[in-house]
Chain A
C-alpha cells in the first residue's frame, strides 16, 4: 500500500448515470502520485461518463469519488475531439493561455508569471513557433499538442486525457505517447488516459482500468498482460497498425 498522502483519487463503488440510465457502476480504483492509468473499453461502455465523474461534472449515484492528496483544481484536462470550430479566430497562444484560467482567481488579467508559464508549456511541447498562428489552421497533431499545453497549464498534479490520439496518424500518435510518458516521468504528473489502444496502453501505462459498464480489470499493466482480456485483444484485433 502507498502512503495515503500519495493517493490522489480514490473511487469506491461509484455508479454514474447518464440521461437517467446507469452508464457505469461499481467502480473502485486508486490513482496515486506518479501513476499512469489507462482506462480501456469499447465505445459506449462508460469511459466518457467516468471522465465526467472524475471532473466532478456529474455526481455518483452511489459510492464515492474522493480527492485526497489532490483536489479537482489540480487536474489538467484534454477533451476528446474538441468541439472548437476551425474558423474560430484564436491564436495558439490565446488557446493555451485558457489553461491558466483558474489562476486568475479574483484578478481580471493574467500576470506575467501566468503568461510565462503558458509559453514554457508551449516550448516543452515544441509549438512555441506556432504561438501566433491561428489555432483553427493547425494540423491534427499540432492541435493536440496545443490542447495538451493548455491542459498542462491547468495540471498541478493530474493530467486527464480523453482519447488524446484519436484521429492522428501513426507517426504523430507515437510522438504524442512519448510526450505523455515524458510528462509523467519528468514532471511527476499522474496521468489518466482514456484510450482504445490496448497495445500502447499496456506498453506505456503503469496501471490499467478496463471497463465494460463496470470494471472488468484493475491492476498494473504487467498483470493486465497476463489476462484473458489482453490475449483476446491480441488475438482478435489484427487491424491495429503498428
Chain B
C-alpha cells in the first residue's frame, strides 16, 4: 500500500483515521502515567496488568460462550465490563502492596501477571475449544479493521477520564512520585492518590490492550517517559515531552503498519518508540558533551 492509496480509497482512509484517532488518545493517556510509573520504579506494572487484562479477556470469552449457549442471542461487546473491574482491582492490589507486606512490588507483579497469563490461556483454550491462537490478543489485531463505534466511544470516554484526572491531580501526583514520605509527613493522603494512579493505569491498559495487544501496551507506557527523561530535567517538561513523543511515535507506527504489508500496529508503534529512545539518547549525550 502506498500513501496515495490511504488518501484516495475512502474505506482505507476511514480505517486509517479511526486507528489514528484511537491511537493518539491511547498514547496520550499511556505517556502521562508512564512518567510516574517509571520514576516510582514500577515500569513492569503495565506489563503485569496487561497480562491480567489478557486473563480477564479470557474470562469474558468464557462467559460469552456460556451465555451464548443459554440465550442463543447476539450479545454486545461487554468484555470491558469484566476487564475494567478485574484490572483495576489488580492495579490497586499491586500498587498498595508494598505498604504492608513482605512481597515487594516487583515480585508481586511477576507473581500475579504470570498466573493471570497461564490461567487466561487455559480458559481461552477451553472457551474456544482449541489450543487457541492468542497471537492477536498479545500483539494486537493482525487485520486492520475500521474501529467500531463502540470502540471509539469507549476510548474517548476512558481517555477523557484518564487525561483530565491526570491534569487536575498533576500537583498531587508529583507529590506522591517525588517524595511520598514528605507528603505523608505533612498530612497529605498519599495512599488515596496512589489508588487514583492505579485506577488510571488500569483504564489505560484496558483501552490499549485491544489495539496494541497485551504484550505491547507496556512499551507505550514506559518508552515515552524514558525517552523524554533523556532530554528533559524538570517534571513538567518530562510529562509534556513524553506526551508529544508518544503521539508522534504512534502516528508514525500506525502509518507504517498501513504502508507495510503484514506489519501490525502494536509492534510497529513499539519499534518506532525504540528508535526514538535510542535517537534521543544519542542526542542527549551530544548536548551534554
Contacts and interface: CB of A to CB of B under 8 A. Distances in A.
Contacts of B238: 89
DSSP majority for the A interface?
mixed
B182 interface: yes
B281 to A, nearest CB: 14
A22 interface: no
B229 A89 contact: yes
B172 interface: yes
A75 B171 contact: no
A91 B168 CA distance: 20
Contacts of A110: 171
A17 interface: no
For chain B, the bracket of interface size reads 20 to 34
B188 to A, nearest CB: 5
Contacts of A88: 39, 178
Interface residues of A, number: 33
Interface stretch (A7-15, A95-103, A215-223): A95-103
Interface stretch (A28-36, A78-86, A187-195): A78-86
Nearest to B35: A89
A104 B171 contact: yes
A90 B185 contact: no
A24 B110 CA distance: 38
A151 B186 CA distance: 9
B179 interface: yes
B236 A84 contact: no
B187 interface: yes
Interface in A43-83: 55-57, 72-73, 75-77, 79, 82-83
A108 interface: yes
A201 interface: no
B187 A72 contact: yes
A88 B236 CA distance: 12
A108 B171 contact: yes
Most chain A CB within a 10 A radius of its CB, from B184, B187, B237? B187
A79 B179 CA distance: 10
A99 B184 CA distance: 11
A-B pairs, 6 with minimum CB distance: A91-B234, A134-B233, A77-B185, A108-B168, A89-B238, A154-B186
5 contacts: A73-B186, A82-B179, A83-B179, A90-B174, A101-B175
Interface of A: 55-57, 72-73, 75-77, 79, 82-84, 87-91, 94-95, 97-99, 101-102, 104, 108-110, 132, 134, 150, 154, 160
Given A101-B171, A101-B183, A104-B171, 8 more contacts: A76-B186, A91-B235, A94-B178, A94-B235, A98-B182, A101-B188, A104-B172, A154-B186
